[in-house]
Amino acid sequence: MKEIEKRAQAPVVEVQNGQPVTTTLEVARYFGKRHKNVLQAIETLLPQLPEINRLNFQPVDYTDAKGENRPTYLLTRDGFILLAMGFTGQKALQFKVAYIDAFNAMEAEIQKDRQWVSGLSESLERICPTPVREETTVRNQRAVKLLRAMAAYWALLEDMPQETAEKAVCAVGMLRELDDFDFDKHLLDPMYCFLEQVIARPSSKDGRPATEQQIDTIEHLLDACAQYKYSRDRNVYDLLKCEYGITTEDILKSNAGQARRIAGLAYNLLCRHETLTMVIDKIKSRAGDAIRKNQIEKSNGR
């Protein structure tokens, strides 16, 4: 009796691809049946169903205790109901009701999540409306201006002619000159990433060893990034490595010029974290307003 009560209290339903599902393994465990018998019941049932209903039974594999792959099925609620129709008796009825309640509860949670996502999307659209898609020629011009500005900044940092910097970028993008850039023919990302990397990792002319104050300043800036509420205790050193390829060892071994450049990147990260916090706060505020408005409209509609 206790085992029956235990099973009845614990139907397992999970979310896969935005849909609540269970498995034949869980059905067998929950109803106290042998898994192979549940599989046989499905294999008997499937030929009798229209093709559209068979989609409620998705065959997958699982690894058993011996490390071997075994077959099982993912069942939607409709699939579970079709299967459980063959389970008879008072105890089976109690189990079916509890299982359907678990599906309903999971679907309610999914619907709640969808409402939040919808509210967030609406709020973000209000804060930053999506602009009308521009013609390719206009997009090309914007890309050229972006690349030219970054190339000019790199040239300024390295004290070299801007033309030289632009030629290097064109070599990466396989262009004759920047004005030839075309979204239909070329990729922006490789050129943009190249400029990010060379700006972050310069061949500085100031070869003097970095001072202790410079190293401390970099550490203070990076530590400050992790103080904002949506990035608290985040390892910003990993972020610096991921985005710019700069490691802790690079910081400690940097010369004076490189330390100044890394400090600039760290300051940019700090500003980005501040902006991120402000944007998320605004989105959450607008999302809350949108959800409350939606609830009021639904209430009035009733």
Tell me the per-residue pLDDT of 261-288, one tens digit each, with 9 for 90 and over: 889 889 988 998 898 888 888 877 877 7
Q: Residue 64 pLDDT more than 90?
A: no
Question: What pLDDT, on the 0 to 100 scale, is given for residue 195?
Answer: 93
**Same domain, residue pair 19 and 57:** yes
**Same domain, residue pair 67 and 149:** no
**Same domain, residue pair 22 and 102:** yes
Give the integer Cα–Cα distance in Å for 78 and 88: 18
Q: Does the predicted model carry a pTM greater than 0.85?
A: no
**Same domain, residue pair 165 and 279:** no
Q: Residue 149 pLDDT more than 90?
A: yes
Q: How many domains does the chain have?
A: 3
**Same domain, residue pair 34 and 9:** yes
CB within 8 Å of 100: residues ≥ 6 apart: 77, 80, 81
**Same domain, residue pair 182 and 80:** no
Rounded to 5°, angle at Cα 241 from 237 and 244: 125
**Same domain, residue pair 140 and 232:** no
Q: Mind listing the pLDDT tens digit for each residue in 83-108?
A: 988 888 777 888 888 898 889 888 88
Helix ranges restricted to H, 16-135: 24-31, 35-45, 51-54, 77-84, 90-127
**Same domain, residue pair 52 and 165:** no
CB within 8 Å of 98: residues ≥ 6 apart: 8, 9, 11
Burial class (CB in 10 A: 0-12, 13-18, 19+), 56: buried
Domain boundary among 127, 157, 172: 127
Domain boundary among 127, 147, 178: 127
Q: Mind listing the pLDDT tens digit for each residue in 215-260?
A: 999 999 999 988 988 888 778 898 888 888 889 999 998 888 888 8
Q: Residue 154 pLDDT more than 60?
A: yes
**Same domain, residue pair 11 and 119:** yes
Interval 162-180 mean pLDDT:
95
Q: Residue 155 pLDDT more than 60?
A: yes
Question: What pLDDT, on the 0 to 100 scale, is given for residue 150?
Answer: 94
Q: Residue 17 pLDDT more than 70?
A: yes
Q: Residue 6 pLDDT more than 60?
A: no
Rounded to 5°, angle at Cα 212 from 208 and 215: 90
**Same domain, residue pair 216 and 99:** no
Domain boundary among 72, 102, 127: 127
**Same domain, residue pair 150 and 39:** no
Interval 175-203 mean pLDDT:
89
Which two tokens mark 210? 């970095």
Which two tokens mark 120? 């967030």
**Same domain, residue pair 101 and 20:** yes
Give the integer Cα–Cα distance in Å for 129 and 126: 6
Identify the domain containing residue 102 by its residue range. Answer: 2-127
Give the integer Cα–Cα distance in Å for 13 and 84: 15
Tell me the sheet residues that pair with 110: none
Report which of 4, 246, 286, 281 is spatially closest to residue 119, judged by C-alpha positions: 286
Mean per-residue pLDDT of the chain: 86
